[in-house]
Every structure is written in structure tokens, then in C-alpha cells.
Structure 1
Amino acid sequence: MIRASSNRDLICVLLSTFLLLFPLISATQAQETASALPPALQQEAMEKLASDLDPQQVGALADLVTLLQQGADAKKTAGALSGGGPDLLERLQSGLNAFGAMVVSNFQSLPALATGIIGGIGALFAGDIAGPVHILFGAIGLLLVAGFGAEFLFNRIVASRRETIQSLKPTSLYETVKIVSSRAGLDLGGLIIFALIVLIVARVAVFDPVMRSYALQAVFWIVLLPRAVAALLRFALAPHRSELRLVTANDATAKSLYRSFTTLFAFVGVAFFLRNVMQGAGADVGETYRFFVGFGVNAWIIAIIWQARHGLTSIILGDDDDPTSGLERMAQFWPYFSMAFIAFNWLLIQVTSSIGIDSLTAGRSLAVIALVVFAPFLDTMVRGIVSHIVPPMQGEGPVAEAAHLQTRYSYVRIARVALLAFLILTVGRIYGLNLLALGGDGGSGVARNSVIFLLILAAGYLAWEITNLWVSQQLAKDSPPQETQDEESEMGGAGKSRLATILPLVRIVLQVTIVTLTVLLGLSQLGVNITPLIAGASIVGLAIGFGAQTLVSDVVAGIFFLMDDAFRMGEFINTGGAQGTIEKISIRSMQLRGTKGAVHVVPYGQISNLTNLSRDWVIMKLKFTIPFDTDQEKVRKIFKKIGQEIMEMDEYKDDLLAPFKGQGVADVDDVGIVVRGKFTTKPGKQFGVRREIYKRVQKAFEENGIQFARKEVRVQLPETAKLDEPQKEAIAAAAAEAATPKPAV
């Protein structure tokens, strides 16, 4: 007992000493210490030792083992970092070497491939694979007769429905989709009946399971596959009925794509069936066969796209009368991108196969190619759906039209983001990558941060588009229709609403906020420390606040002007130093269009007083000078009659708030009596009414024998005076000179 106790104390002392000195021991020394333990210290010895120790000592021993293991891991990591394993360049070089060796090997195996194909076909006809060939061909013929017969009966049953579809003429996209979907449903229904009857007959009539398998493969690969592809192409392209075509393509493009892809998949079906025949014959040329068939199929698809590149561009552009520049660039770029992607996809499959990764099979490759090639069709479908779900235009005029167009573009861009995300996730799934799982806790740190970074960018873009969408809809509702401005108008009209004036500024603020938050969150997710950026932005803000007092004054003054609703877009104002119609409002200043076309930029802080000449209503007063002997009551009645007539005119009755009427004598000068009339209109409408009043007053004065007063000189001569013509001319010249005002010196 004394010896055992002293042994335990010795172990405790050693453990305590080691734990105190462990921070001074390197990872290499820890590994060497671990390797120096006696080999007799096995499981039984450890259990016996643990039975002699108390719980505290057992815990200390467990800590020692953990630290020793950490030292071993540290040494292993250091060895890897110091060049213990192959680096990226070496792996890349190794992969390229393997790919080159595989290509050379496949070309060297061409004779064996030809021999294998001939041998497989020979074995098939010799009856070594699926039994006697005449019985096999008879079974295939039986299946085809049964399948086509059942499909014929199905088509007879739905013949009336097909005739109805043939006679329908769609008038909208919705009706087109409905008709095409019904026709595609009937086509696919016939193919499903064909497949079911073939399966049933094969099960009942073909007893040999091997022969049944090859007969079904021949029917499904060579007959059913190209027919199913043709049905899907008829749904999208409608090569023989342009009125049912869901995409914008001419007849030549639609028929060319239909024939090319149907023929291609017929070749693919034959290639798949021939591969199974070769496998049944025991030909060991699978990799070479897959290499050359894959190369041929991909080259064929590239040739199809190259031939139809202009048609694919038309499909992407769709029927938009005024496509955006971005859509035009994408439409021109997509066919070439598709060809490059197809070549890259084939090369990727071959490289991964050469290094022993077989997850990218030919079927997956074909699925990816189909997604890429038919992406324009999906984009056209998205735009067609958007054209039906986008809300109708609210309001009238060019502002409402522009807002409606912006709303449609926002819907399309949001739908395209969703479509792009779907394509990326689907392609990732086909390649064996679960991109959503990478963003979770189960993915690596780099992959998870990258996926979250992309999600942040997508969320920021969607927020940007939603902001544009909301502002555009509000502008469409709150902006009145823009009316034709009077040619003689020198001042703006009623202007826009208060909300329509503030919304552009709100949009700018929201967009700046969205961009700032998106950039900061994205950088933070990538591992960038954004604290210095925020601190730097705060310092810059303080510097602007202290060093640019005028700028701050302009911004603050503009905020209070907008809060007071002092002006709106389109109104005519006078700021004391400049006047004009408001064309643009920013955070710091406004732009005024003067009466002569000049543009005045007025900072808010420099506006001491502001006069709004376009708010609510406008009173215009007109003056007329009549001779002294004119009957003023008669003039008043003329003015009243003219005012009533103009109030009844369709052109001005909605703009006049108070009719034109006389106000009596306003002044008396050396020419005659000045009478005045006034009327009240909506802002900007006074000039057309004024022109109409001038025209009617002149006509009424002529009808009533009233003349406008003019300056004249009267010469009174004695009744006995007799003047000849030269004297009269001299007197007239003197009178004209007296009536002409002298220029200021």
C-alpha cells in the first residue's frame, strides 16, 4: 500500500510538472515525447493505472493525452504547409497530363472501337446477344404495331378535340398558351398510351427477358425518345403554325431547330442502344465510345446553335418594340456564350473522367446543355408571364407611361434573377453540388461565406428593384397627365403633386442606403473588417459638416422648403434673383427653366424669399384704353357677354374658375379712359384664355362701333382759313412730329 501510494504521488508530481512546462514545449517535442512512451502501456495497463488513480489524477492524465495529440496534429499540419503534399499547380499539371493521356488513348483505341461496333452488330444479328435476330425484329415490330395502334385509337377518340384546336385562332398570349398546352397534352397523352401498351405487350408476348429488354430498349431509345423531344419542340416552336408559336422566331428558324434537334436525339437514341448492344457483346470500348459520341453530340449542338444564332437572338429579344440596351447585348451574346459553355462542359466531363471522377455522366451533361440552350425560351416565358401579371397603367400622360414601363422592366428583372438562381442551383445539383447546403453549417467556411455573399448581393439587388417599383407606381398614381403647354405661356402650369416632388429624392436616399448596406455586409461576410470604414465615413461626415457649412445650409434649407411644400416640380417660382419653371430638384439645389430658355441653378441656402406663381389658381387682369366719349356701360356688357361665351367653350370651361368680367374705369390718361377686366383660371391656363379674350374684344368693339384709343394731335383752324395742299402736308408733318415721343437723352 505504501509503495502504491508513493507511485501515485510520483505520477501526480510528473503530471503537474509537465502541465506547468507544456507551454514551453514545441509541437515537435510533444510528438517526440508521445513516441517515446513505452510500448507496454497498452489498454490493460492504462485501465489498471486508471483504477489506481483518483478522479482528479485521471482528469490530468486525459488532459496530457489531449495535449500530446494536439502536438501530433500541429506537426502534421506544419509538414503539409512546408511542402509535404502536392500544391495546386502540381495537381493541375497532373490533371492535364491525365486528360492528354486519355485523349491519346482514345484515338489509339479507334480501331478497337470500330471492331467493337462491328462485332456488337454482328453478334446481335448472329443471335448471340438477344436470341435469334428474326425473332428479335419480330418482337420489335409487334411492339411498334401495338403501340402505334393504341396511339391511333387514342387519336381517333380525341379527333374532335384536335379539330377544334386546329380551327382556333388565338387573339392573346393567354389563349395561345392555352391552345398550345392542350395540343401538347394530346401529343404527350398519345405517347404515354404508346409507352404503356408497349410495356404491356412486351410483358405478355415476349417471354425471353433478355430479348424483351433489348426490344424495349430499341423502341424506347430509337422511336420514343425523338418523338417525345419532337412533341416538346412543337409545344415551344410550333414549326407549322406560326400563330401558336410561343417565341418570337420566323418559320425558317423554328423549322430548322425542330428538324435539327429531332434528328440529333434520334442519333442519341441509336447511340445509346448501340452502347447496350456492345456491352452485351462484351466489347471493352466503353470509355472510347463515350468520348467520341459525346464529342459528336456536343459538336452537333454547337453547329445547330451557330446556324440558328440570329434566330436565337430574335427569340431572346421577343416582341418588344423598344428593347433595352441590356437585353440587346444579352441577345447578341447568348448564342456565343452557349457554344462556349457547351465546349467547356464537355471538356470538364472529360477532365474529371480522366482523373477518376465519374459523377458527371453523359446524361447529366445533356441535361445541363438542355438548360443552357433553352434558357432563351425560359426568358421569353418569363416575359410573357410578366406581361399578364404586371398591373395596368395608373394615371395618364407620359409620366404614367414611363412609370408603367419601369414597373414592367422591374418585374422582368426580378423574374430573371429568380430564373438565374433556379438555373444555377439546378446546374449545381446536376453537377452534384448542393449550393444551399454550402451556405449552411455543414459547408466549409470559404464556400459558406461565398454563398452568403452572393445571397447578400441578390437581396440588395432585389431591394433596389422593389424600391424602383414602388416609386414608379406612386409616381404613376400621383402625377397628372402632362398637357400641351400654351405657345405663348411664359410660366409653368399647376405642377406635380407634393408626393411626386419628394419621391425622386426619397428614391435616391433609399438607393444610396441599399448600396451602402449591401457593400458593407458583403465585405463583412468576406472577412473584411468594416469598422475602419464606418469610422472613416463618420470622420468624413464630420469634416463635411465643419468644412462645408454652405453645403449643410443648402441641404437643411431644402429639407425645410420641402416640408413647407413651398414648391413642386413643374411650378413657376421667383426666388428673388431668378425665376422659371422647376425642372429638377436635388438635395442641394433646384434647376429653373427661364422664360427665354436659360437654366438657372439655385442653391436652397441662397433663397431669401420665394414666390410661387403656380399654386392653386391665377388671376389675370387686362387693360383696354377707349376714347373719352365711349359708353362705359356698353363696354361692361360686352365684357360680360364675352366672359359667358368663353365659360361655355369646351376648350376653356374646365380651366376657368371665374369668368371674365369688367371692373370699370381703372385710370384716365391723356389718350383716353382705361377700363379693366379680370378672370381666374388654373395655373398655366391663363394665356390661352387671354388670347381668346383679346380676339373677341376686338371683334365686339368693331361690331359696336367702338375704337381703341390712340395718341393723336388735333389742329384747329379758323373756319375762314383756306389751305392749299402743301400747307396741309406741312401741318400734318408738324402734328406727327409733335405726337412722336422724343427719345431720352
Structure 2
Amino acid sequence: MELLAAADEPSPCEPGFNSCTLLWKITGNEALSLDTGVVLDKIGQVLLIILAASLLRWIVNRSIARIIRQVTAVKGPQPIAELAEKLSASAGRRMEIVGDRSAKRAETLTGVLQHVSGIIIYSIAFMLVLSAFSVNLAPILASAGIAGIAIGFGAQNLVQDYLAGIFILLEDQYGVGDIVDVGDASGTVVDMGLRVTTLRSLDGTLWYVRNGQIMRVGNSSQSWAYVVVDTPLPPNADVDTAGDRIQEVAEAFVEDEAWSDYVLAEPEYLGPVEVTIDEIKVRLGVRTTSDKQWAAGRELRLRINEALREAGIVDPNGTGRIYVPRATAGGDDGAA
């Protein structure tokens, strides 16, 4: 009966359907309906803002990924007026130098832009949450502007880092997955932001390098690589015999179906490149794709070592002695 009587009384809540009206219809308690209704309405607004921000970020991230993939997949600049014609020559030369890097560039740009868009979206959502609780944003924004000016004067290194990061992205100096040497650190790029580049070195160390401190970059993952295999020989070795064996190994390597797709040019046997009292160093060079340079180098060194063992140049018993077949008058083999 009390509930029915309360239902007949005029509602203390604001007109329209809200939490206060619902609680008033259920409980008939004016204080509970007003206080709890306000709290529930605020919570509902906050949840709606968070849900809208999350949905918007998901849509923006998908849109960024699709747009970047389409833009970076273009193989040449669009023929727009004279500027595009001037840029086409530069783009063509860059394609010849570094090859097709659309996939890695798309991954790097997508990650950075998604990170920036996430910060913007959630910052706006945070301000909307504050406004839902009737917080005056004008003083906060004014203070943030003044603080931003002060920080800008005192954080020149931070600005330098961001500007350097922007130019690294625009010039595509490196991207996620590339193996680079940035001076103080080297390794695989695992993450890249506008301020910091994160590298994973060969020993597993994670390096955080400020973009503004990168003075030069050596990228081992762009276009092709030149694998240099140096083989030390004893000073009394028959260099011609060893060179013949190394050339045979290189030719067999190129003809191997497992490696032929990764070899871009005929191997170059350069002969002796260093002669000391202790050894003669001969060199073999092979141009390969950048993603297989280290694997190709290991495979070539293994095959050259086996070939020299079979030729008797390297002791198969592993005693450390090197047997060197020499073309002497008596036909004897020399040993070192």
C-alpha cells in the first residue's frame, strides 16, 4: 500500500526517465531516490564516455591501419603537378637503394599513429568525465597552457627527441623489425615512438634510445646485404688451391635450391686481403637479401670449413695443426 501511495505522490525527480525516477517508483523514498539517483546517473555517464572512447579508438585504429597500408603500398608517387614529377626521381632512387619497405614502414607508422590517437581520444574522454562531475575545465586548460609554455622552454631536449622521431618516420630511416646500429646501442627495433626507440640487442638487453641523441644510423635490414667471409690460412698455404675450393663451395651454394632465391649476384672471390707473419686471410663476398645475410654467412663458413678439411688443408682430427698441400717439385705435402 505504501508503494502504491508513493506512486500516486508527485515525483521529486527531474522530468524524464532517469535513475532517480526509477528508484522513486521502486522504493518511494525521496532521499534515497535523489541521492542514489545522482550517483547512478554520474556512473552511467562515465561508463558511457569510456565505452564511446574505447569504441572510437577501435574504429580509429582500424582506419589508421587500413589507410597506412593503402598509402605505403603505392609503388610510386602520384603524378600530381610538377612537384610530384620532381619527387618521382628521388623516390625511384630510394627504391633502388633500400628496396620495397612498405610492410615495415606501414607497421611502424601504424603503431606510432595509433599510440598518438589513443592519447588524444582518452585525454578528451578524461575531460568529458571531469565535466560530467561539474568540474570547471577553463582554469585547468589555462593552467595547462601556461605550464606547457614553461615546460617548452625548459624541455628543449624533449622537443628535440620528438622532432627527430618525426623525421626518422618521414625519411623511413628504420622501422620495427629492422636490425640497426645507432652508435651507443645496436640490435633489433622492437618498438618505435616519437621520443624513444627501443632495441633488443643480441644478448637480450633492451635498450631505450632517445631519438634526439641518434647522430647516425646503420640499418642492416634495408634492401640487400653483402656477406663477407674471411678465411685465415697458414703463411705457407697454397693460396690457389684453397681459393679453388672456396670458389667451388660458393658456386655450389648459389646452385642450392634452399639458398638460390636469397643470392642476388654471383659470389666474388677476392683472394688474399691480409698477409701477416702468422696467416694469410682470403675473402669471399656474396650479395644476399638482407633478411638472410647472417644465416648465409654461417652456412658458407661451415661449407668452406668442411671443404678445406676434405682437401687436407684443415686437420680433420682437430689437433689444431693445419695441413697445407703445396705443389712442390717432389710432390710432398707441407705441414704447419
Q: Which secondary structure state, in structure 1, belongs to the residue aligned with residue 221 of structure 2?
A: coil
Q: Distance in 2 between matches of 1:516 and 1:468?
A: 16
Superposition pairs for residues 376-525 of structure 1, below 5 Å? 458-470=51-63, 497-521=104-128, 523-524=130-131
Are 2:245 and 1:638 aligned? yes
Give the secondary structure class of the aligned counterpart of 2:106.
helix
Q: C-alpha distance in 2, partners of 1:563/1:509?
A: 16
Find 1:584's aligned residue among 185, 191, 199. Answer: 191
TM-score by length of 2: 0.64
| Cα shift at 1:546 | 1.5
SS state at 1:497 partner: helix
Instruction: Find the residue that maps to 1:463 and give its secondary structure.
Output: helix
Give the deviation of 1:555 after TM superposition. 1.8
* Match status 1:355 vs 2:14: no
Distance 2:50 2:310 in 1: 76
Q: 1:563 aligns with which of 165, 170, 194?
A: 170
Matched, 1:679 2:296: no
Normalized per residue, the structure richer in helix is 1
Q: What's the counterpart of residue 694 of structure 1?
A: 301
Query: Structure 1 residues 662 and 354, CA, compared in 2 at 3 Å: closer, same or farther?
Result: same
Distance 2:171 2:231 in 1: 39
Deviation at 1:463, TM superposition (A): 0.7
- Shift in Å at residue 702 of structure 1? 3.7
CA–CA separation in structure 1 for the residues paired with 2:183 and 2:204: 18
Change (3 A) 1:672 1:607: closer
1:464 partner letter: R
- Per the TM alignment, residue 679 of structure 1 is displaced from its structure 2 partner at its CA by 0.9
Instruction: Quote the offset at 1:497 in angstroms.
Output: 0.8
CA distance in 2, matches of 1:495, 1:637: 41
Tell me if 1:611 matches 2:218: yes
Question: How has the CA–CA distance of structure 1 residues 583 and 457 changed in structure 2, closer, same or farther, with 3 Å as cutoff?
Answer: closer
Q: State the distance in 2 between where 1:684 and 1:638 align.
A: 27
CA distance in 1, matches of 2:270, 2:200: 34
Q: Deviations over 1:86-139 (max 9, x none)?
A: xxxxxxxxxxxx54xxxxxxxxxxxxxxxxxxxxxxxxxxxxxxxxxxxxxxxx
For the residue of structure 1 that corresponds to 2:176, the secondary structure is coil
Instruction: Give the conservation status (yes or no) of the 8 Å contact 2:229–2:301.
Output: no
CA distance in 2, matches of 1:587, 1:503: 12
> CA 1:496–1:595 in 2, change beyond 3 Å: closer, same or farther?
farther
3-state DSSP class of the match of 1:658? coil
Shift of 1:644: 2.8
In the alignment, the residues of structure 2 paired with residue 496 and residue 591 of structure 1 have an alpha-carbon distance, to the nearest angstrom, of 19
In structure 1, C-alpha distance between the alignment counterparts of 2:230 and 2:70, rounded to whole Å? 41
1:707-743 alpha-carbon deviations (Å, 9 max, x no partner): 489689xxxxxxxxxxxxxxxxxxxxxxxxxx9xxxx
Q: CA deviation at 1:356?
A: 4.1
Conserved 8 A contact 2:313-2:322:
no
Match of 1:308 in 2: none
Q: Secondary structure at the match of 2:117?
A: helix
For 2:183 and 2:109, how far apart are their aligned partners in 1?
23
Specify the code of the residue in structure 2 equivalent to 1:655: Y
CA drift at 1:678: 0.9
- Displacement of 1:458 in angstroms is 4.6
> Which position in structure 2 is the counterpart of 1:285?
none
Larger RCO (CA under 8 A, 6+ residues apart): 2
* Distance in structure 2 (CA, Å) of the matches to 1:631 and 1:454: 78
Secondary structure at 2:223's aligned position in 1? coil
TM-aligned CA distance change 1:519 to 1:694, over 3 Å: closer
How big is the shift at 1:609? Answer: 2.1
1:665 and 2:272 equivalent? Answer: yes
Q: Give the Cα separation in 2 of the matches to 1:631 and 1:464.
A: 65
Give 1:163-562 correspondences, 5 Å limit. 352-353=3-4, 355-356=6-7, 458-470=51-63, 497-521=104-128, 523-524=130-131, 527-562=134-169
The 2-side partners of 1:625 and 1:454 are apart by 70
Shift in alpha-carbon separation, 1:598–1:528, aligned structure 2, 3 A: closer
| Gapped regions of structure 1 (runs ≥ 5) | 1-97, 100-351, 358-423, 433-447, 480-493, 713-738, 740-745
Shift of 1:495: 11
Distance in 2, matches of 1:516 and 1:466, equals 17
The offset of 1:536, in angstroms, is: 1.9
1:41-81 Cα deviation digits (max 9, x unpaired): xxxxxxxxxxxxxxxxxxxxxxxxxxxxxxxxxxxxxxxxx
> Partners of 1:653 and 1:696 in 2: how far apart?
15
Q: Which has the larger radius of gyration?
A: 1
Which aligned pairs between 1:127-166 and structure 2 lie closer than 5 A? none
Question: Are residues 549 and 702 of structure 1, via their aligned partners in 2, closer, same or farther at CA, if it must alter by over 3 Å?
Answer: closer
Match in the other structure for 1:596: 203
Q: Report 1:5-44 matches (<5 A).
A: none
Tell me the SS of whatever aligns to 2:273: strand
- Distance of aligned partners of 1:495 and 1:681 in 2 relative to their CA distance in 1, 3 Å threshold: farther
SS at match of 1:590: strand
The change in CA–CA distance for 1:641 and 1:526 in structure 2 (over 3 A counts) is same
- Alignment: residue pair count: 266
Give the drift of 1:523: 4.4
TM value normalised by structure 1: 0.31
- Please state which structure has a larger fraction of its residues in strand: 2
Amino acid at match of 2:202: T
Write the distance in 2 (CA, Å) between the matches of 1:672 and 1:572. 32
Do the aligned partners of 2:174 and 2:219 also contact (CA within 8 Å) in 1? yes
Q: Which runs of 5+ in 2 are unaligned?
A: 9-16, 26-40, 73-100, 324-335
Deviation at 1:670, TM superposition (A): 2.1
| TM-aligned CA distance change 1:556 to 1:631, over 3 Å | closer
Cα distance in structure 2, aligned partners of 1:450 and 1:684: 52
Task: Tell me the distance in 2 between the aligned counterparts of 1:656 and 1:669.
Answer: 32
Task: Give SS of 1:566's match.
Answer: coil
The offset of 1:639, in angstroms, is 2.9
* Secondary structure in 1 matching 2:290: coil
Q: Which letter does structure 1 place at the counterpart of 2:53?
A: G
Q: CA RMSD in A?
A: 4.1
For 1:593 and 1:567, how far apart are their aligned partners in 2?
Answer: 14
Secondary structure of 1:657 counterpart: coil
